[in-house]
Amino acid sequence: MTDLQRTIAREVSFEGVGLHTGNFCRVTFTPAPPHSGIRFVRSDLPGLPSVPATWPHVLDVIRGTTLGNSAMRIHTVEHLLSALYGLEIDNLTITVNANEPPVADGSSAPFCELLWNVGIMEQEVPRRMFIPQVPIVYQSGETRISIDPADDLQVTCQIIYDHPLLKQQELNLRLTPESFLAEIARSRTFCFDYEVEALKKQGLVKGGSLENAVVIGMDRIHNQEKALRFPNEFVRHKLLDFLGDLSLIGCRVLGHLTAIRCGHGHNIQFVHRLAEAMAAPSPLASASEARAPR
């Protein structure tokens, strides 16, 4: 992990439809100065209202993470935020002209490729990180999310389903921009075929298709490619979602993260737990301090 804050080299845009709203959206990524964090701006609303991508601004976690305030909402931000967290981008303004960013192919890869190719630059200002000195655990029923002290950022994610095509899957890796690009970014969102009609009745997945999601039947995969990108693509996407939600803590995290049976609601509750720990005396340190011997 780099010791310095990072943004992108120049402005760049991407277009497409939103997964749940089906609305066409143009999203523009603009470099931001140090200590700006990640901020969404709605260019389609009067006054260009904005919201920081931080956990106090989470409004909803049903089938995705929604941010907002009294002036605006932005739905399904987790894939986009996961790309930023995976690439270690700290400061960025994200301007959208609709209420949901493009779903692209259902993964973070198109955003990663766009931002990686435009260039990510260091800002000569030390990055601040949360470095827990003791384990922090969130548990609810069969879900358990935790972070243990470690000298780098490691992630373990596990899913367990009573389904012949999923069953139990687990992924362990040391998270770097390179490992995120290779192992996580390309994994796509998924749902079960029996859920589709119910989701439509709830007014969701209006922009969903077999081109941007993996639909799981009892004995086969329904999607454009008729194949998975990884044998365990489902746990990889759960980790992708988790990292997008984790980014809402508002800084980098150093430690070994473990997420078992995670989901958006649980992810945000874990972030709340981290925020409580950060409020304790001296929870933050600069990158250089973070690497000092404990």
Residues with catalytic annotation? 264
Which residues sit opposite 137 in a β-bridge?
146
DSSP string covering the chain = --SEEEEESS-EEEEEE-TTT--EEEEEEEE--TT--EEEEETTSTT--EEESSGGGEEE-SSS-EEE-SS-EE---HHHHHHHHHTT---EEEEESSSS---TTSSSHHHHHHHHHH-EEEEEEEPEEE--SS-EEEEETTEEEEEE--SSEEEEEEEE-SSTTTSEEEEEEE--HHHHHHHTTTPPPEEEGGGHHHHHHTT--TT--TTS-EEE-SS-EESTTSS-SSTTHHHHHHHHHHHHHHGGGSSEE-EEEEEES--HHHHHHHHHHHHHHHTSSS-EEEHHHHTS--
Report helix angle 233-246 to 264-278, nearest 10. 40
Which residues sit opposite 90 in a β-bridge?
none
Rg value, the chain, Cα: 18
Going from the C-alpha of 65 to that of each of 18, 128, 149, 197, 241, the distances in angstroms are 13, 25, 27, 21, 9
**In the β-sheet with 128-130, what is the strand arrangement from edge to edge?**
252-253, 128-130, 284-286
